[in-house]
Amino acid sequence: MMKGLKKWRLFSLLAVMMVFLSGCGEEYISALKPSGEVGKEQLNLLLLTTGIMTLVVVIVSVIYLLAFVKFRRAKVGENVIPKQVEGSHTLEVIWTVIPIILLLIIAVPVVTATYKFADVAAMDEVDENGNKTALTVNVTAKLYWWEFEYPNQGIVTAQELVVPTGQKVYFNLKAADVKHSFWIPAVGGKMDTNVENLNKFYLVFDKESKDLKDGVFYGKCAELCGPSHALMDFKVKSLSPEAFDAWVVSMKATEGQTADKASTDLGEATFANSCLACHAVSGVGGTGGVGPNLTTFGDRNRVAGFLEHTEENLQAWIKDPGQYKPGNLMLNPDGTAPIYGDLSDEEIQALATYIMGLSVEK
Amino acid sequence: MSSYTQKKGFGAAVWDYITTVDHKKLAVMYLLAGTLFFAIAGFEALLMRIQLMKPNNDFVSAGFFNELLTMHGTTMLFLAATPLLFAFMNMLVPLQIGARDVAFPFLNSLGFWLFFLGAVFLHLSFFMGGAPDAGWTSYASLSLYSPGHGIDFYVLGLQISGAGTLISGLNFIVTIITMRAPGMTFMRMPLFTWTALVSSALILFAFPPLTIGLLMMLFDRMFGGNFFDHTMGGNTIIWEHLFWIFGHPEVYILVLPAFGLFSEIIPAFSRKRLFGYSSMVFATILIGFLGFMVWAHHMFTVGLGPTANAIFAVATMAIAVPTGMKVFNWILTIWGGSIKVTTPMLYALGFIPSFVAGGVTGVMQASAPLDYQLHDSYFIVAHFHYVIVGGIVTALFGSAHFYWPIFFNRMLNETLGKWTFWVFFIGFHLTFFVQHFLGLMGMPRRVFTYMEGQGWDQFNYISTIGALMMGVGVIMMVINCLMSIKGKPAGRDPWGDGRTLEWAIPQPIPFYNFRQTPLVRGLDPYWIEKQEGNKEGMTYAEPLGDIHMPNNSAIPFVISLGMFIAAFGALYNPDADKPWSIYVLIIGLAITFGAMIVRSVKDDHGFHLHKEEILEIEEQLYGKGGNK
């Protein structure tokens, strides 16, 4: 059986599979269409293992179907008593050794890649001025949103990760409440955010995200974390290094920005009274906010990570956040009403307009 | 005194089942209880699939979905697959080794009642303020955070149920090692008995870590133990280790007996002895051993570091080798045989490619860096359902058809059986094959909904259609079982191709099994006797004489009931407004320990069945008007 399967069949099988697999899914979310070194290597491993494993399934199925077709009782006769064969050492050795060889073929790249993906030594490298050379992002996963802090730049944002293309971006991952898992399928595999320790890994973003359908890559939480686990999405905007630097500069320019209680703008005043305790509107400053930092809200792709980015949705969200993300922390502990109390429709409208206007890119 | 001729009303029949220590009756009880929970968990699965049929669906709420997914996983593994396999182990192991019962019939009954009442306790959570909702793995940070009593139900229910499983596993080990008929050496044991032995040994080593983990969780929830609370110096990753040191072997605890069942079905309907018997035994032991070495492959993304990941990746892949040996041995058993495609054989034939497909995706996930993409995605869901449905459920369904005559002296309808197979089998592949792609396309598992336009809509729809077909298949199977009540008695060796001892016993099987202990002269002893034209069935190792049998007892039920009551006390103990709970706890434990003391101080020597009585019973069973 094994001899009959010539080499070209393996290659054509791989080729067919490549076409088939890569035809699957959307570019901004599918692990089959990776846009970065890590994801690409993972796809190569996928193709290698799928190839070998498909080969195994095919060989087993062929032998098995052949046995089935040749030795049916209808064919061999009702009263035939087959020879009671005990076994065959040669055959048993063959099907022990061949799988071992196949596994070794897989094991070598697997072990290599395991060490490669875990290599975060460059995270702490500094240039002659003592500045870190690599870009590091501290990710904190919370019930049900994500905080992204850039410690070397001194800025912080939430829900939408902004990264430059063409360089390794290092991540420090942590969870603030329960375990989550940080996953950007189209860019590279996931890493858990634990509550008790820091996990580190890196990703590379090859492609600017502006040409994608929504202009962003989709990120997901992959670890069950409560009722709204399915809604704990985030988005990733990859920019050219120059655009990224410009973004950092405009983020830094928001230093000290705050909402004024005495403002003539009803939205800003309401925000200052009801929201400012949890949500910051300056991209420079502390992390560990109770709610997401809203400095870049107007630039974002989604409300709450998954709702379409419209003012109506934002108003509806402010009115009843529990309806959209059950179990989220904008509600009183008993889960009935928002912690900021009742706002009038007029206030909510003005508030939504104000929040939508928060932007560093416009 | 004659112990077998009482006429029975309904109440007496119920009492008989509550007090029975007969392995065959307990097997039937395991079968019924397992089927009940299988149906419940299957229904939960259907609700989830209906919710995921289209994007942004609101068929069930987010919180309820998490309860469904938790209870589906927990129930299927602990309360459906395990008891159903125990049903077959209870029925077959003593028969296959020529024993009158298991080594400790009393403990066998205790094992069942602990399992059953623990399972009932867990399911009461649905009616008493919310089921557990932190996934069947109940990872510590989320399960500590989870409000309400759901997780307490999980912890207490599984603790009681798990104790039952542990007791049963111990019982099987002793039975198989000490109670084999003369001539039944280890290397002549049927493969199902071998897998039952290895699987019981795994239970013995795997359940204690779970027990410890659950106990620590119980302390955290009841007394603020802070084993897992990181804000107080605890560590949630400890839970993951404890859980998976149990959880990974658990897969083999289930799949090894399934392998054993197929190793009985395939030779029978190929009319050929199992190819490479000794290597099958070796592979079974090796899989059991390796099963303990690989738990951390469930934790590749936790951040254990590259060295741990690399070691566990390679160790995990190694399991593919003995498993592959088994698959090829099965195929070579068919090769050169005379294959009769009965319903059980159809399940066995469907099992081979399905299980291989599930096994190879296991190797893919063992590749740690690739697992970073696959972990907690729908790819995993596809993989473990291919293993569990493709391996274990097909084994259970196939063996239900195969062994129905041993259980009930009836045959299941073959035509309906084959229809059931095709509906279920096609539904299964439709459901889970596309989920591989869903995972690769970025869909995380355990999500109660998904937004449209991410490229997942179509595959989810197909998957749900498949799940509904599986549901129809299961209903057809149950109808077939019910129809068999009206069927004709099957008699001894109804398939005509029985090879092992259980087929040599005349039907219906008397409560003492073999009238005389059989003499085993080789592998597949009944086949040997048939080939030599032995009309009697077996050659016996002893003359007809008195048989010693154990008495029935209600004590196992009472012990379990005490635990069941105590569990409610423990459950409500942390609530300040329920001061009575401590008394419930004390009363429950008092019942349990009281019953244990009664058991300890009261001598129970069982009874002897005399020669004349045996002849009388056999005349009733097989004489004129017998063989019911």
* A25 Cα to chain B: minimum distance (Å): 5
Q: Which residues contact B234 (CB under 8 A, 6 or more apart)?
A: B140, B220, B226, B227, B228
Rounded mean pLDDT, A31-60: 92
Q: Looking at chain A, which residue has its C-alpha nearest residue B146?
A: A226
Instruction: With cut-offs at 50, 70 and 90, classify the pLDDT of residue A5.
Output: very low
Query: Mind listing the pLDDT tens digit for each residue in A14-40?
Result: 666 665 665 678 889 999 999 999 999
Plot region of B98 (φ>0 → left; ψ -120 to 50 → alpha; else → beta) = left
pTM above 0.80, yes or no: yes
Return the residue of B nearest to A335 by Cα. B147
pLDDT band, very low/low/confident/very high, at A11 (cuts 50, 70, 90): low
For helices B378-387 and B414-440, angle between their N-to-C axes, nearest 10 degrees: 150
Residues of B in contact with A305 (CB under 8 A): none
Residue A289 has what pLDDT?
A: 78
Q: A259 to chain B, minimum CA–CA distance in Å? A: 33
pLDDT at B2: 45
How many Å apart are CA B453 and CA B447, to the nearest integer? 16
Residue of A110, A172, A214 best to disrupt the B interface, most CBs of B under 10 A? A110
Residue of chain B whose Cα is closest to the Cα of A198: B303
Interface test with A, best of B235, B237, B301 (most A CBs within 10 A): B301
Kindly state the tokens that stand for A66: 């052949």
Chain B residue numbers touching A181 (CB-CB < 8 A) = 301, 375-376
What is the rounded CA–CA span in Å between residue B540 and residue B364? 51
Q: Which two tokens stand for residue B146?
A: 């989870």
The CA-atom distances, in angstroms, between B305 and each of A134, A203, B302, B561 are: 21, 16, 9, 46
Q: Angle between the B82-96 and B394-408 helix axes, to the nearest 10 degrees?
A: 50
SS3 B365: helix
Taking the CA atoms of chain A, what radius of gyration do you get in angstroms? 27
Segment A346-361 shows an average pLDDT of 92
3-state secondary structure B255-278: HHHHHHHHHHHHHHHHCCCCCCHH
On whether the CB atoms of residues B189 and B180 are closer than 8 A, the answer is: yes
Interface test with A, best of B271, B356, B373, B447 (most A CBs within 10 A): B373
- Residues A236/A187, Cβ–Cβ less than 8 Å: yes
CA-nearest residue to B497 within chain A is A81
Contact A61/B353, CB-based, under 8 Å?
yes
ipTM of the complex: 0.91
At B583 the pLDDT is 95
Phi and psi at residue B249, to the nearest 5° = -55, -30
Q: Which helix (H) or strand (E) holds B315?
A: helix B306-318
Residue of B nearest to A30 (CA): B441
The pLDDT assigned to A339 comes to 87
pLDDT on residue A19: 58
Q: Which residues from chain B sit within 8 angstroms of residue A104, using beta carbons?
A: none
Strands A180-184 and A188-193, bridge-based pairing:
antiparallel
Segment (H or E) for A10: helix A7-22
Distance from the Cα of B361 to chain A's closest Cα (Å) equals: 8
Q: Do B279 and A230 touch (CB under 8 A)?
A: no
Tokens of B457: 């809509």
Cα distance from A172 to chain B (closest Cα, Å)? 11
Which one, of B312, B315, B286, lies nearest residue B301 by Cα?
B312
Cross-chain Cβ contact A80/B338 below 8 Å: yes
pLDDT at A18: 60
Average of per-residue pLDDT across A58-75 = 90
B541/B521 Cα distance (integer angstroms): 11
CA-wise closest residue to B375 among B213, B137, B47? B137
Q: In chain B, which residues have pLDDT < 50?
A: 1-3
B-chain residue closest to A38, CA distance: B369
Angle (nearest 5°) at CA A348 between A354 and A299: 35
Q: Decide which of A178 and A285 is more confident.
A: A178
Select from B276, B314, B349 the Cβ nearest to the Cβ of A92. B276
Contact A82 B63 (CB under 8 A): no
Contact partners, residue B77, CB within 8 Å, separation at least 6: B136, B250, B254, B388
Positive/negative CA dihedral, B287, B288, B290, B291: positive
Task: Provide the shortest C-alpha distance from residue A79 to chain B (in Å).
Answer: 9
Q: Using alpha carbons, select from A129, A165, A147, A151 the residue that is nearest to residue A289.
A: A147
Contact A106 B309 (CB under 8 A): no
Please count the CA atoms within 13 angstroms of the CA of B287 that sit on its side-chain side.
Answer: 29
Those residues whose C-beta lies under 8 Å from the C-beta of residue B606, and which sit 6 or more positions away, are: B548, B549, B550, B551
What pLDDT is attached to residue A13?
A: 60
CB atoms under 10 Å from CB of B431, counted, come to 24
Distance CA B25, CA B27 (A): 5
Residue found under tokens 């993972």: A42
Q: Which amino acid is at B118?
A: G
Identify from B440, B448, B526, B528 which residue to disrupt to test chain A contact, counting A C-beta atoms within 10 A and taking the largest count: B440
Helix H or strand E segment including B46:
helix B23-51
Helix (H) or strand (E) holding B562: helix B555-572
Query: A119 near B369, Cβ under 8 Å?
Result: no
Q: Please compute Rg for chain B using Cα positions.
A: 25
Give me the pLDDT at residue A3, please: 45
Q: Residue B440 is nearest to which of A30, A115, A192, comparing CB atoms? A: A30
Say what the pLDDT of residue B517 is. 92
Task: Tell me the one-letter amino acid at B191.
Answer: L
CA pair distance B255, A362, nearest whole angstrom: 59
For residue A144, cis peptide bond before it (omega within 30 degrees of 0): yes
Strands A135-142 and A168-175: parallel
Please answer whether residues B570 and B543 qualify as being in contact, where contact means their C-beta atoms are separated by less than 8 angstroms: no
- Determine, for residues B454 and A99 on separate chains, whether the beta-carbon distance falls below 8 Å: no
Structure confidence at residue B117 (pLDDT): 97
**A208-232: average pLDDT:** 93
For A31, the 3-state DSSP assignment is coil
Q: Which residues of B touch A306 (CB under 8 A)?
A: 451
Quickly tell me which residue has 């107007």 as its tokens.
A298
pLDDT for B442 equals 93
CB pairs under 8 A between A and B: 296
**Min Cα separation A157/chain B (Å):** 24
Contact B397, B473 (CB under 8 A): no
Which residues of chain B are within 8 Å of residue A107 when distances are taken between CB atoms? 313-314, 317
Q: Do B273 and A84 touch (CB under 8 A)?
A: yes
Residue among B384, B392, B429, B428 nearest B136 (CA): B384
Query: Could B448 and A230 be called an inter-chain contact, meaning their C-beta atoms sit closer than 8 Å?
Result: yes
Contacts of B445 in chain A (CB under 8 A): 222
